[in-house]
Amino acid sequence: MTTTKILFSGKHLFVNANAEGGQLTVEVLDGSGVTLRGFAADRCIPIRADGTRQMVRWQSSSDLSRLIGKPVRIRFYLVRAQLYSFWVSPSVSGESLGCVAAGGPGLNGWVARQHYQCRFLCERNIGIPRTTSFWFAVLTIVG
C-alpha cells in the first residue's frame, strides 16, 4: 500500500498495527516513486508486534528530518498484519500533536493545534477502505 505524495515536518514515523504472527515493513519514496537511500523496505527493521504506537526504524536510522518539507510517498508491506494508522511525529515518544483519529469522550476526531495541520486520508486519496483510519501529525497532502 502506497500513500499519495505527502509533506511533513516531523522526524519519526509511527504505526498502530497488529503484526503478531507476521510482519510490517516500510519504505519511503521520493515524489517520483523512487526509493530513498537508507529508507528501503529491505533496510527496515520489521515490526512483528501488536501495538498502538510503534516506531518504524531502518538499519541506518529512524530520523526522517532530512525529508522535512519534501514531497514523499510511504509504502507499507504487510505480511499477515493489519495496519490501522500511521503518523509522523516530531518526538521519539510518538505524540500526534492534535490528531485523534478514533475520537473519545468529548473528541470528534480533531483537536486544533496552532502551527500544525492534520488531515485524514480516505478511500479517494490512497484507495483503502474507509474502515481503516489513518492519522498524521504535522503532515500535508500535496498534489
Give me the long-range contacts of 96-99 (CB less than 8 A, separation at least 24). 96/135, 96/136, 96/137, 97/137, 97/138, 98/137, 99/135, 99/136, 99/137
pLDDT above 50 (res 128): no
Phi, psi of 126 (to 5 degrees): -135, 15
C-alpha span between 130 and 126 (Å, rounded): 10
Give the span between the Cα atoms of 3 and 23, in whole angstroms. 19
Cell of 5: 505524495
pTM above 0.85, yes or no: no
For 80-121, write each residue's pLDDT tens digit. Answer: 999 988 888 888 888 876 555 544 555 554 443 322 333 333
